[in-house]
């Protein structure tokens, strides 16, 4: 007995695995073998500052280190307060506006005020 599921579109059992997808040989429908993470799982990702405090949208933070802006001669100075941050996914978790412009920062260089 095969553990490959029947096609959810045509309900026939003539299916096979091709890479990361199941494929139905009869109707050509493809669907992922592993169910991807839902949007609720992404919302549960906790972003913490340098001291381990949980950050949220709208928080105020302070830079704990001088940061050089890549591709520019600008340096963001230690102690600069940033108001009303926005949390985003990815490597740089914090989106913010400062006098020097808009920046994406890593939470490990920030401290919650």
Q: Are 22 and 5 in contact (CB under 8 A)?
A: yes
Rg (CA), the chain: 23
Q: What is the pLDDT of residue 31?
A: 85
Domain boundaries in the chain? 1-36, 39-112
**Band (80; pLDDT cuts 50, 70, 90):** very high
DSSP secondary-structure letter at 107?
A: G
pTM for this model (two decimals): 0.60
Domain 39-112 coded CATH 2.30.30.40: yes
The fold for domain 1-36 equals N-terminal domain of TfIIb (2.20.25)
The Cα–Cα gap between 24 and 82 comes to: 53
Residue 58 predicted with pLDDT over 90: yes
pLDDT of residue 7: 85
- At 16-55, the pLDDT tens digits run 888 888 898 888 888 888 765 554 555 567 899 999 999 9
């Amino acid at each position: 007995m095969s553990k490959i599921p029947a096609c959810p579109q045509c309900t026939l059992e003539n299916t096979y695995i091709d890479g990361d997808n199941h494929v139905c040989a009869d109707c050509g429908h493809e669907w992922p073998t592993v169910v991807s993470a839902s949007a609720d799982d992404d919302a549960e990702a906790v972003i913490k500052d340098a001291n381990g405090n949980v950050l949220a949208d709208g928080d105020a933070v302070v830079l704990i280190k001088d940061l050089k802006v890549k591709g520019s001669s600008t340096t963001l100075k230690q102690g600069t307060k940033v108001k009303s941050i926005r949390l985003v996914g990815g490597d740089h978790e914090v989106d913010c506006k400062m006098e020097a412009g808009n920046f994406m920062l890593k939470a490990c260089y920030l401290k919650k005020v």
